């Protein structure tokens, strides 16, 4: 990260108090000087465990361990990348970001090309295309809200338009709006109604286009996947639906783009559409971040729709929602209801009688079967077995599904449990060939004891937490200062941290790095409990020694500055490094009978013991 970007990040932090940003999503209450508490937005809880610390610019849930600074919070709550969070907060706080290089610059150029393309399509909407939309029942407001447009039938209309705006054909090809064959470029979408696909920030990242001509195939043509567009990561209509999802606590998930627009026009503004055959785990996470607790799956009533519903229900993340399957009368699509005078009432009724997950699963499994016949009962059990064999001890859906099976198939609870036990046993036999877990070989390899390893980790976390209190532009400088005074051994957490700091990734990115490593929660826990340092104390660290002197030469009480705390924390880290060295030397001493080696090891042990005592004097004085 260059100095200009680091300064911009620090300026954004100064202009966007974390309690203000978090307060948009969480009802916060004061819980002390500069701290607030609220219910965690990332998991369900009744007692507030989500804390915001103004001085540190951090938030953290002591329950689910989610947290971070303003950028990390926005990333998690909105389901966006760091760069997108940075751009959004920069725009809101009026901070100008330096021009990004490489891939980030390419992403920005692609977004600009897509915006130019969207403006081109919008400007050509009229005539037959507009009449078609009006015939489907769409109002001018809906057309405007979802940015519908028209791609003319010309092979090079968009190509020439973009060239006139300084966009090369190759750039437009990479953005996904042109095609190329044998070295010739031409428009990807021709004589089609266009639907812009937006990311969670509301930016156009792709298009879906519907053919107007009856013989034009495919009926719907999509943009290719690009660095900006991965269809499994996005939901059509999500930016427009997010406020209603958050307010109502539910999302209506459909298959068609027209279905989404029609439902919004009828007042069901919590509707979104999948961009594939079924709901993906990433799309479900988007809905979770929007605070949806209920999902209404309104897929088509045909076999493909039933398959899509079941695939969605089988996602692990979907188990955190209360899920219903919506079945429209006569197998109609939600978009068809827009032309009916009672269309809104019909869909409302369908929501009210939507099948809970248990009922839907059983109905699909038992469809076309005679439940009086034992072999058909067996088929139902086989169809439901993957969901019934759950590893969760208190899975509400499984318990209700078991009750449904026992009643409908006239089984005894014991018979069902015996069947499931055999299923689990058969599943377990498939994994018996796997290698057994590795045993702890620490002692045989002469490495440090597990208790010392844990001690080292905790003390390294203390040092890292202190480093996080410095401004972004001084972060690398302070990190190098600590590295020069601790000499972290290769493979340690602190050594890994220093390597990441030297790469100038920035504090937010490094925190993400340690979350992926598995230490993110512990680091955040220490960060929230570590002391805070205001800018005055940091300035004092640069100007004055840690201990100042009174008029008569007597030492005053040391200031609790960053440098003072780091001095103590570094001494404690060095102490445990020496203790680990001592442990290794003692192990070597026990395993040798060579007199010269014994003398050398004994001398080394004495020196290490003296070093340990010296470090203890630093933090005990």
Closest alpha carbon to 274 in 243, 315, 246, 226: 315
Are 245 and 269 in contact, with CB atoms under 8 Å apart? no
What DSSP string describes 365-384? HHTT--TTSHHHHHHHHHHH
201 belongs to a structural domain:
yes
Contacts of 460 (CB under 8 A, 6+ apart): 488, 492, 493, 494, 497, 573
* Chain centre to alpha carbon of residue 184: 40
**What 3 state SS string does 435-463 have?**
CCCCCCCHHHHCCCCHHHHHHHHHHHHHH
Q: How many domains does the chain have?
A: 5
- Under DSSP, the state recorded for 236 is B
| C-beta neighbour count of 168 within 10 angstroms | 12
Q: Are residues 139 and 221 in the same domain?
A: yes
Q: Are residues 459 and 583 in the same domain?
A: yes
- The long-range contacts involving 531-539, CB below 8 angstroms and separated by at least 24 positions, are 531/466, 531/469, 531/560, 531/565, 532/34, 532/53, 532/55, 532/56, 532/469, 533/469, 533/470, 533/561, 533/562, 533/565, 534/55, 535/471, 537/561, 537/562, 538/470, 538/471, 538/474, 538/562
Query: Phi-psi bin for 291: left (phi > 0), alpha (psi -120 to 50), beta?
Result: left
Q: Which residue has the tokens 């785990």?
A: 281
Contacts of 38 (CB under 8 A, 6+ apart): 22, 26, 27, 28, 29, 48, 50, 52
Closest alpha carbon to 9 in 467, 76, 77, 1: 1
Residues of the chain with pLDDT under 70: 1-3, 99-108, 390-394, 427-450, 504-506, 508-509, 511-522, 530-560, 621
Are 73 and 18 in contact, with CB atoms under 8 Å apart? yes
Q: What is the CATH number of the domain that holds 158?
A: 3.90.980.10
> How far is Cα 478 from Cα 18, in angstroms, rounded to an integer?
24
Copy the structure tokens of residue 307.
């398959």
Q: Are residues 373 and 408 in the same domain?
A: yes
- 180-183-184-188 Cα dihedral, nearest 10 degrees: 0
Q: Are residues 592 and 452 in the same domain?
A: yes
Domain enclosing residue 399, as ranges? 363-427
- Could you give the strand order of the β-sheet that contains 220-222, starting from the edge strand earlier in sequence? 149-151, 192-198, 204-211, 220-222
432 belongs to a structural domain:
no
So what's the pLDDT on residue 496?
80
275 belongs to a structural domain:
yes
98 belongs to a structural domain:
no
435 belongs to a structural domain:
no
Q: Are residues 468 and 615 in the same domain?
A: yes
So what's the pLDDT on residue 439?
36
Copy the structure tokens of residue 287.
């809905």
Task: Give backbone dihedrals phi and psi of 234, rounded to 5 degrees, phi first.
Answer: -125, 155
Q: Are residues 131 and 276 in the same domain?
A: no
Q: Are residues 80 and 184 in the same domain?
A: no
So what's the pLDDT on residue 460?
86
Integer-rounded Cα Rg, in Å, for the chain is 31
Q: Residue 149: which H helix or E strand, with range?
A: strand 149-151
Q: Which of 328, 353, 378 is the last residue of a domain?
A: 353
Closest alpha carbon to 322 in 354, 352, 296, 351: 296
- Could you give the strand order of the β-sheet that contains 29-32, starting from the edge strand earlier in sequence? 29-32, 35-38, 50-53, 58-61, 67-68
Are 533 and 562 in contact, with CB atoms under 8 Å apart? yes
548 belongs to a structural domain:
yes
So what's the pLDDT on residue 376?
93
- The long-range contacts involving 361-364, CB below 8 angstroms and separated by at least 24 positions, are 361/310, 361/313, 361/387, 361/401, 362/401, 362/404, 362/405, 362/408, 364/306, 364/309, 364/310
Q: Are residues 27 and 71 in the same domain?
A: yes
Copy the structure tokens of residue 275.
């961009």
Q: Are residues 260 and 301 in the same domain?
A: yes
| C-beta neighbour count of 470 within 10 angstroms | 20
* Chain centre to alpha carbon of residue 407: 41
Q: Are residues 21 and 61 in the same domain?
A: yes
> How far is Cα 175 from Cα 19, in angstroms, rounded to an integer?
38
437 belongs to a structural domain:
no
Are 400 and 358 in contact, with CB atoms under 8 Å apart? yes
> How far is Cα 418 from Cα 406, in angstroms, rounded to an integer?
13
Q: Are residues 585 and 476 in the same domain?
A: yes
> How far is Cα 160 from Cα 169, in angstroms, rounded to an integer?
9
Q: Which of 229, 254, 283 is the last residue of a domain?
A: 229
Task: Give backbone dihedrals phi and psi of 136, rounded to 5 degrees, phi first.
Answer: -80, -5
Q: Are residues 165 and 239 in the same domain?
A: no
Q: Which residue has the tokens 């998930």?
A: 253
Q: Which of 353, 374, 389 is the last residue of a domain?
A: 353
Mapped onto helix, strand or coil, the DSSP state of residue 325 is strand
Mapped onto helix, strand or coil, the DSSP state of residue 276 is coil
Average pLDDT, the chain: 83
pLDDT digits (tens, 9 = 90+) for 315-344: 877 887 899 999 998 888 999 999 999 999
What DSSP string describes 22-36? HHTTS--EEEETTEE
Burial of 547-562, coded b for 16+ CB within 10 Å and e otherwise, reads eeeeeeeeeeeebebb
Are 198 and 205 in contact, with CB atoms under 8 Å apart? yes
358 belongs to a structural domain:
no
Copy the structure tokens of residue 466.
């202190």
Are 350 and 271 in contact, with CB atoms under 8 Å apart? no
So what's the pLDDT on residue 516?
58
Contacts of 219 (CB under 8 A, 6+ apart): 210, 211
> How far is Cα 597 from Cα 540, in angstroms, rounded to an integer?
50
């Amino acid at each position: 990260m260059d100095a200009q970007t680091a300064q911009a990040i620090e300026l954004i932090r100064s202009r966007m108090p974390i309690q203000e940003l978090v307060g948009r999503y969480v009802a916060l209450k004061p819980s002390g000087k500069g701290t607030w508490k609220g219910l965690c937005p990332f998991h369900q809880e009744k007692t507030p465990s989500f804390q915001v610390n103004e001085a540190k610019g951090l938030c953290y849930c002591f329950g689910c361990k989610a947290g971070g600074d303003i950028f990390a919070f926005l990333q998690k709550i909105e389901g966006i990348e760091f760069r997108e969070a940075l751009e959004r907060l920069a725009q809101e706080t009026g901070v100008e970001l330096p021009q990004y290089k490489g891939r980030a610059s390419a992403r920005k150029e692609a977004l600009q090309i897509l915006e130019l393309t969207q403006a081109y399509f919008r400007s050509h909407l009229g005539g037959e295309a507009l009449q078609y939309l009006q015939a489907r029942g769409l109002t001018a407001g809906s057309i405007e809200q979802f940015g519908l447009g028209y791609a003319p039938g010309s092979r090079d209309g968009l190509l020439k338009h973009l060239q006139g705006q300084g966009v090369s054909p190759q750039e437009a090809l990479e953005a996904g709006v042109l095609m190329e064959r044998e070295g010739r470029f031409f428009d990807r979408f021709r004589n089609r109604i266009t639907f812009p696909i937006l990311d969670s920030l509301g930016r156009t990242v792709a298009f879906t286009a519907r053919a107007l001509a009856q013989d034009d195939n495919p009926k719907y043509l999509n943009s290719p996947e690009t660095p900006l567009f991965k269809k499994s990561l996005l939901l059509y209509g999500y930016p427009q639906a997010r406020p209603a999802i958050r307010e109502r606590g539910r999302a209506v998930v459909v298959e068609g783009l027209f279905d989404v627009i029609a439902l919004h026009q009828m007042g069901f503004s919590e509707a979104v559409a999948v961009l594939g055959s079924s709901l993906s785990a990433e799309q479900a996470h988007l809905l979770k971040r929007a605070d949806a607790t209920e999902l209404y799956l309104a897929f088509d009533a045909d076999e493909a729709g039933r398959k899509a519903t079941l695939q969605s229900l089988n996602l692990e993340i979907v188990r955190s929602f209360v899920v219903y399957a919506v079945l429209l009368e006569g197998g109609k699509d939600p978009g068809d209801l827009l032309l009916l005078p009672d269309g809104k009432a019909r869909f409302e009724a369908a929501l009210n009688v939507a099948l809970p997950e248990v009922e839907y699963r059983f109905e699909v499994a038992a469809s076309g079967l005679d439940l009086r016949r034992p072999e058909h009962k067996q088929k139902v059990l086989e169809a439901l077995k993957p969901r019934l064999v759950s590893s969760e001890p208190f899975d509400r859906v499984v318990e209700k599904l078991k009750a449904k099976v026992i009643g409908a198939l006239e089984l005894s609870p014991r018979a069902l449990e015996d069947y499931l036990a055999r299923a689990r046993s058969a599943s377990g036999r498939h994994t018996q060939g796997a290698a057994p877990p590795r045993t702890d070989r620490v002692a045989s390899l002469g490495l440090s004891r597990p208790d010392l390893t844990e001690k080292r980790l905790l003390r390294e976390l203390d040092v890292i937490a202190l480093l996080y209190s410095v401004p972004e532009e001084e972060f690398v400088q302070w990190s190098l200062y600590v590295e020069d005074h601790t000499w972290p051994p290769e493979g340690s957490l602190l050594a890994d941290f220093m390597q990441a700091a030297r790469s100038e990734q920035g504090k937010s990115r490094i925190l993400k790095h340690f979350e992926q490593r598995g230490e993110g929660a512990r680091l955040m826990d220490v960060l929230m409990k570590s002391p805070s340092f205001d800018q005055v104390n940091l300035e004092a660290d640069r100007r004055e020694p840690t201990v100042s002197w009174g008029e008569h030469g007597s030492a005053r009480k040391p200031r609790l500055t960053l440098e003072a705390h780091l001095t103590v924390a570094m001494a404690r880290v060095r102490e445990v490094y020496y203790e680990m060295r001592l442990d290794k030397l003692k192990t070597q001493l026990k395993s040798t009978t060579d007199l010269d080696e014994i003398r050398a090891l004994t001398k080394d042990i004495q020196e290490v013991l003296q070093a340990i005592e010296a470090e203890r004097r630093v933090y005990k004085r």
